[in-house]
């Protein structure tokens, strides 16, 4: 079903893939593993025929049958003008089949009728998977399909994929930095780079007594309007949320997809209005969003993006987040999503002198070793400046390893 023979891909002289060969037969499941930036996404795009026009390609890459592709960046892959149900129904045999897919993914009627900007990052990611399944493909290409999902939702979506693959005999190529994804799907694993050894979790830095941010009784309800602009019952995203973050402290916020975590982040960054409650922040706020391309101009070079945030930023900042010094002159759209995430983090930290850094699932596209590099960079800046950090993640192990406190959020409410 998929045949790759000595495939090489380069961008402006930078090699993204070098002489990769791979075969996947009908009913076979292949996991693509490797560090952030090793070429996993480039490989899947090559199979799907979606490489950028300026890519320099050599070798052969063929796939037979209908291809269902679930990309990594949901915001840029869904039409902002169509409701979620319409974007799946146009690929399915019928609207009823599309609705059944939504139900199997745990997305109710309200979410089916929502536009992409009204869904959480995890909900948008599920819609992308449903789009791929709705095509009844012979080959499924899934790029980090569960990166923004909590454990329960991840298990449900992997079960949905497994069921389709077993029933249809389709071929699967799935890229992920989570080994459990390969195990649950029964994949043969192809590693583009050696698997990095997991270093011990970095210990949290001591926190100061000064209060960086305080939230008291924050509430937010989203109202919905139908085709005739009639207001329908709203969705309560935040319900009396209160929290405090001190200087040098990292507070982790975990919870299922759609629980209100991103809404809280946007309110703290003053990108969202709230209905009731107060927010007080000492210093500026930088929000690194769930999809790094939302935080960066794709036409800028990495160096220009850093300089826009701080005139003091240079290539040394890239080295601190694990990127090569020479990549400072590459355009943002020539990096992988994990590399863009690190540029966005470095850019936001460079713009802060103290204040509050918010990471909204910004580490979800990074492998374990790169995640630790990024967190060590953040902790060092916390020691230097007293910066506070709100880490939003669905990875409980990461939260416990790097945060002073872990808060759990569900249905718009927080509990310790």
Residue 4: what are its φ and ψ, rounded to 5°? Answer: -125, 125
- Hey, what domains does the chain have and what are their CATH numbers? 2-191 (3.40.50.300), 211-415 (3.40.50.300)
Give the pLDDT score at 198.
Answer: 40
Give the pLDDT score at 201.
Answer: 44
Give the pLDDT score at 225.
Answer: 66
Which of these, 134, 139, 209, lies nearest to 174 by C-alpha position?
Answer: 139
pTM above 0.85, yes or no: no
Give the pLDDT score at 218.
Answer: 94
Give the pLDDT score at 230.
Answer: 63
Q: Which of 194-208, 254-268, 336-350, 365-379 is predicted with the least confidence, judged by mean pLDDT?
A: 194-208
Burial 55-73 (b: 16+ CB within 10 A, else e): beeebebebeeebbbbbbb
Q: Which two tokens stand for residue 189?
A: 């694993």
Which carries the bigger pLDDT value, residue 298 or residue 190? 190
Percentage of the chain with pLDDT > 70?
Answer: 93
Query: How many residues comprise the chain?
Result: 416
Q: Which of 42-56, 128-142, 291-305 is predicted with the least confidence, judged by mean pLDDT?
A: 291-305
- Residue 216 reports pLDDT greater than 80: yes
């Amino acid at each position: 079903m998929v045949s790759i023979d000595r495939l090489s891909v380069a961008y402006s002289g930078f090699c993204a893939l070098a002489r990769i060969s791979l075969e996947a037969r009908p009913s076979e499941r292949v996991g693509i593993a490797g560090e952030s930036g090793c070429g996993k996404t480039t490989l899947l795009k090559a199979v799907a025929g979606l490489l950028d026009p300026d890519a320099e390609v050599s070798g052969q890459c063929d796939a037979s049958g209908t291809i269902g592709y679930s990309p990594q960046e949901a915001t840029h892959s869904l039409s902002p003008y169509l409701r979620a149900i319409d974007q799946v129904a146009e690929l399915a045999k019928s609207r009823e089949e599309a609705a059944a897919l939504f139900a199997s993914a745990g997305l109710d009627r309200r979410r089916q009728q929502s536009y992409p900007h009204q869904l959480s990052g995890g909900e948008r990611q599920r819609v992308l998977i449903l789009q791929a399944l709705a095509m009844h493909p012979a080959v499924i290409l899934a790029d980090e399909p569960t990166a923004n999902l909590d454990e329960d939702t991840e298990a449900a979506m992997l079960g949905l994929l497994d069921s389709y693959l077993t029933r249809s005999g389709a071929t699967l190529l799935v890229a992920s930095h989570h080994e459990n994804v390969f195990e649950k799907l029964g994949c043969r694993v192809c590693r583009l780079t050696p698997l990095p050894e997991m270093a011990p979790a970095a210990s949290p830095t001591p926190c100061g007594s000064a209060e960086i941010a305080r939230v008291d009784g924050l509430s937010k309800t989203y109202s919905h309007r139908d085709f005739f602009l009639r207001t329908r019952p709203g969705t309560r995203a935040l319900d009396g949320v209160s929290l405090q973050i001190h200087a040098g402290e990292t507070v982790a916020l975990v919870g299922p997809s759609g629980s209100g975590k991103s809404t809280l982040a946007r309110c703290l960054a003053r990108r969202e209005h709230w209905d009731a409650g107060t927010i007080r922040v000492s210093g500026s706020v930088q929000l690194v969003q769930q999809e790094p391309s939302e935080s960066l101009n794709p036409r800028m070079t990495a160096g220009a993006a850093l300089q826009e945030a701080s005139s003091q930023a240079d290539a040394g900042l890239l080295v601190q987040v694990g990127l090569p010094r020479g990549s400072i002159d590459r355009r943002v759209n020539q990096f992988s999503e994990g590399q863009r995430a690190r540029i966005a983090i470095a850019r936001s930290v460079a713009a802060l002198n103290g204040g509050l850094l918010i990471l909204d699932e910004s580490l979800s596209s990074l492998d374990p070793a790169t995640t630790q590099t990024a967190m060590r960079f953040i902790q060092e800046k916390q020691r230097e400046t007293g910066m506070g950090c709100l880490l939003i993640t669905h990875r409980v192990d990461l939260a416990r390893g790097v945060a002073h406190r872990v808060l759990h959020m569900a249905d718009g409410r927080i509990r310790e």
